[in-house]
Amino acid sequence: MQETEGVIKYHLNHRQTAANPDWSLAAMNSWRGLLYKLELIGQNPARYMGYGYGNISQRFIGEQFIISGTQTGGISKLLAQHYCLIEKVDLAHNQVDSSGPCQPSSEALTHASLYAQSTTINCVIHVHSPEIWQATQALQLPHTPANIAYGTPAMAETVGRLIQSEQLKQQALFTMLGHHDGVVAFGHDFAQTACVLLNILAASKQLF
């Protein structure tokens, strides 16, 4: 049975507030717009039961980060009202504290796990790419197991172990075999991160 996209599986404590004027969204929005045009983030009635897919985030202060809101995939150009701040994550209790105009993406735990691993990680991009996902074995891409569901503490813990195992030293990208077409890239900045993602997408397309 196909999983339902975009369902929040963690305990969310969200404080409804206006967007923070200190949020710097220009670079993130620019790259997110490109990913939308490439249909790596988006919404399509023929895919994933019609739910929006993909999300993007950037580090704010410490381990806090700004992330696109849940079910914003189908919006071509996001505004400040479509983002929120993840203030605190407690993996042990599956708890996320957030604030902002909207609730966070269902993948907030995975993003949080990456930011917790290294202070050099400043952005995370989660897309859906059938080509990359299906090329996992052929390109020997790092990946999370098929029995690990998205948006769960198990996924966040698995991502942490994946990074600690140094499998991501060569390329800061992995596929999520338990999340149909799910691919995550991360890095120091959006240009670097998107470049890794697009290079692997190009390599994947050559296989099909």
Quick: pLDDT tens for 10-34: 899 999 999 999 999 999 999 999 9
Work out the average pLDDT over 119-145.
97
Work out the average pLDDT over 193-202.
97
For residue 207, pLDDT over 70 is answered with yes
Q: What mean pLDDT is reported for the chain? A: 92
Please give the domain boundaries of the chain with CATH numbers for all domains: 11-205 (3.40.225.10)
Shortest CA distance to 10 belongs to which of 151, 154, 190, 183?
Answer: 151
b (16+ CB within 10 A) / e for 122-131: bbbbbbbbeb
Contact between 48 and 42 (Cβ < 8 Å): no
Q: Which two tokens stand for residue 202?
A: 């190009």
Q: Give the predicted TM-score (pTM) of the model.
A: 0.94
Q: What is the reported pLDDT for 1? A: 38
Helix (H) and strand (E) counts in the chain: 5, 11
Q: How many other CB atoms are found less than 10 A from the CB of residue 159?
A: 26
For residue 128, pLDDT over 80 is answered with yes
pLDDT tens digits, one per residue of 36-53: 999 999 999 999 888 899
Q: What is the reported pLDDT for 152? A: 84
